[in-house]
Structure 1
């Protein structure tokens, strides 16, 4: 098997495909699709989104210092794609996609009611990186739709929510689990006789 060098690029795939909602008032509420997002610290809980300054939502997030990361599902796949290729400056994405803005608990930005998880964020720093600026943010609250909680453990069920991810210009379903954290070193339980 031969290895081939490519020019430097963003080859960390797959990525979560999320809808980020923003705005302080219903008149300016907007959402945009983001694939460049992730966790950067667990205590305090922090995450990031990277946004092009040319995006309509960029100025809203920069001015308000708040946004909500809404995880997406197979049911939200069309809206996720559409909101990534249409501008909130020209379209009311909420009406066009039939989605519902609902109040968040802490931030003024709305949640997308149809999403299974809403991560409320407050911007702590903005780092210019070139084509994108990274909004480094503290997670101030997480709202979970109880339809997607495991009845036995109370944990969020990825299988029930049917999340999607993004890779090289395509959206994909998330597959079946292959193990849990630590399974590779877990000691086998002895069978009782």
Structure 2
């Protein structure tokens, strides 16, 4: 059966329900953004799309900086709240019990409770219609040390990250594979020693192998 053909819409999913922090450490603000992603590797670049009438739009325009904070299943309620309330009316950090902490390279604060924080500097603003896209360079990444093993490897899969799809929040489920697994060669089977028979357990009566 062919797919139904609908009018153009923003149905790309899942996407990250990210908490974007902006402003300053003394006067911080939070904005929930699902429209973000990676657009370049070197230099590392990302974007956020924000409506011009949003309070955070003015703050990001003024400072040219923001932080994209990845959220977890435990932070979904706070993430949702920050997407439906305005920083003009209240301190969203305080209202959600979140902690603004100093970032390493930008004046915008990071969210202490988030496992990963991408510190960004705006390089270009693209007016697209309903939203303006802030195209930004990632100048530093703040990482929760509990996600890094002794060898320095990041285990982001154990962070309990959240996802957003068509109006609903989800917790990421089981791993289905790692990048490149479809073409990765399987390790060669161990060769049997010459003249040595493989040990094989005989099944008891009534047991199948």
- TM-score (normalised: structure 2): 0.88
Q: Partner of 1:167 in structure 2?
A: 165
Q: Which moved more, 1:17-26 or 1:80-89?
A: 17-26
> Deviation at 1:176?
1.2
2:186 aligned with 1:188: yes
Q: Partner of 2:196 in structure 1?
A: none
Deviation per CA, 1:118-143: give whole Å up to 9, x if none: 10000000000111100000000001
Gaps of 5+ in 1: none
> Deviation at 1:24?
2.5
Q: Partner of 1:118 in structure 2?
A: 117
Q: Partner of 1:134 in structure 2?
A: 133
| Cα RMSD for the two superposed structures | 1.2
> Deviation at 1:152?
6.1
**Quick check: which has more Rg, 1 or 2?**
2
Q: Contact 2:69/2:110 (CA < 8 Å) preserved in 1?
A: yes
Inter-partner Cα distance in structure 2 for 1:79 and 1:153: 33
Q: Partner of 1:18 in structure 2?
A: 18
- TM-score (normalised: structure 1): 0.95
Matched positions, count? 191
Q: Partner of 1:158 in structure 2?
A: 156
2:134 aligned with 1:148: no
Note the 1:26-175 alignment, pairs <5 A: 26-27=26-27, 29-149=28-148, 151=149, 154-175=152-173
Q: Contact 2:127/2:133 (CA < 8 Å) preserved in 1?
A: yes
The structure with more strand, counted as a fraction of residues = 1
Q: Contact 2:20/2:69 (CA < 8 Å) preserved in 1?
A: yes
Q: Which moved more, 1:78-87 or 1:157-166?
A: 157-166
Gaps of 5+ in 2: 192-209
